[in-house]
Amino acid sequence: MMKLAIAVPCYNEQEVLDETNNRLTQLIDRLLDQGKVNPDSRIYYIDDGSTDRTWDIIENLSKHQPSVTGIKLSRNVGHQHALLAGLLTAEGDAIVSIDADLQDDVSVIEQMVDDFNLRKVQIVYGVRKQRNSDSFFKRTTADLFYKVLRLMGGEIIQHHADFRLMGRPAIEGLREFNEVNLFLRGIIPLLGFKSSIVYYDRTARFAGTSKYPFKKMLALALNGITSFSVVPLRMITALGFVVFLLSAVMGIWVLTNALLTDAMVPGWASTILPIYFLGGIQVLCIGVLGEYIGKIYKETKQRPRYFIEKTTD
């Protein structure tokens, strides 16, 4: 029987953590009764520098339940790095990653385990059937993000976040990726192992507030696009060429009118508007270049992505 590990990144999740643990514990007990996992299966809670009672709750759960392990990071490093810490630290033949907010359907993990055991699948993606629980704005921006990333050559699973099962070979493959600018949704498909998809309905948070406001969502989307595609840089080249052609055509038109007609009327618009236009294009291009240079700067320093302060084992 397989040894299952469930990695749960946590940041200020004191309101929901007890219920999350109840549901995950019940799931493991059910899988044990069915003979699908072995008794050494565990739940790993990764505290990402929480400022509330999250770590105290994790320690208490670990004291009373041998199947629970707590991992405390030295500071808040962000969801992606906290999740990576759990994936690379947890022990098991397969590791399921799931957020603590209970929006993902815990019962679907059983189907993931079946795919791993019976179909010998190394990566099982949890994919939302629909996004009715999201606001219109969030649905629209999410769809736009997936379309833009695929258009730019990124490999990503539509409506998949970080709810997935990964076998040990896939985890060891992930260990070889050393980049600091993490976007796991884009990295995992690059591993190339046999994969499958399970669909589920996503619900509202059981308790607490979202840890991914619009600002963080926008930063994650920008990181995903610039970490997996050089298309924005090529778009700058194409844009420069188009502006050059337009400028050349405008120059020919102005010269022709000046030499052959008396229709040219001196004015500020013909001078100011091109300056503002070209200036805006230049600032935009510099911004895109700066984003890539910033990523190069972070990668070349090769700083550690996280530090584990302590564990409950």
Helix (H) or strand (E) holding 43: strand 42-47
Alpha helices per DSSP H over the chain: 17-33, 54-64, 79-89, 109-118, 136-151, 168-175, 184-187, 214-228, 231-260, 269-301
CA dihedral (88, 93, 98, 102) positive or negative: negative
Which tokens in the block code for residue 229? 């595609």
User: Model pTM?
Assistant: 0.76
Q: Closest Cα to residue 170, out of 124, 109, 122, 126? A: 122
Q: Which amino acid is at 280?
A: G
Report the alpha-carbon distance of residue 253 to residue 258 in Å, rounded: 9
Residue 224's nearest CA partner among 289, 302, 283, 148 is 148
Closest Cα partner for 68 from 48, 53, 99, 90? 90
* Tens place of pLDDT per residue across the chain (313 aa): 899 999 999 999 999 999 999 999 999 999 999 999 999 999 999 999 999 999 999 999 999 999 999 999 999 998 999 999 999 999 999 999 999 998 899 999 999 999 999 999 999 999 988 766 566 666 666 667 666 666 666 677 877 888 999 999 999 999 998 887 788 888 898 898 999 999 998 876 656 566 555 566 666 666 666 666 666 766 776 777 777 677 667 667 666 766 666 655 565 456 656 776 777 677 677 777 777 777 776 777 777 888 999 999 7
107 — phi, psi (to 5°)? -65, -20
73 near 307, Cβ under 8 Å? yes
* Strand 4-10 versus strand 94-97 pairing type: parallel
